[in-house]
Amino acid sequence: MINVSDIIDPSCVRLELGAGEKEGAIRELVRLLAGTGKLDGYKLERYVEELMERERVSSTGIGQGIAISHRLVAGARAIMMAVGRSVKGVPFDSVDGKPVHLLFLIMGPQGRHNEYLKILGKLSWHLNDRNFFESLMRAQGPSEVVALFKDRET
């Protein structure tokens, strides 16, 4: 069974997002995923547009400082995740109207719905624990973020 820690590459964890708005933050995380080779870098803007289209239907800002942007797309080679953190927060049209401090971006190939939904569910379950959220906010490096997920999953 796949775990959240199985799909987080430390090179796809940005502990201080440079973007101060939703689309820029999503673009920043898509670039990280494209840098791994698991996502076609030539389609970067198309992926950003598909994710923003999903955001226009319904914001993935689930409240309490968390957003989980997600989409299955053509050109993805595996289920993958990027993580972005912003201490100051990013406006995200969240359900509670508050800025997002932890942004998770999950992408995967079309046709992998079951695996994709399981990862979304597991991630949501982990983030429901406020102490875990605070641990992620205090993490000192990308490897520590991955280790926090591994510790919870063992």
Domains of the chain listed by start with CATH number: 4-153 (3.40.930.10)
Taking only the tens place, the pLDDT of each residue in 76-118 is 889 999 999 999 999 999 999 999 999 999 999 999 989 999 9
Q: What is the pTM of this model?
A: 0.95
Locate the DSSP E strands across the chain: 8-14, 61-63, 66-73, 80-90, 100-109
Taking only the tens place, the pLDDT of each residue in 118-142 is 999 999 999 999 999 999 999 999 9
3-state secondary structure of 3: coil
Name the pairing type of β-strands 66-73 and 61-63: antiparallel
Taking only the tens place, the pLDDT of each residue in 9-65 is 999 999 999 999 999 999 999 999 999 888 887 789 999 999 999 999 999 999 999
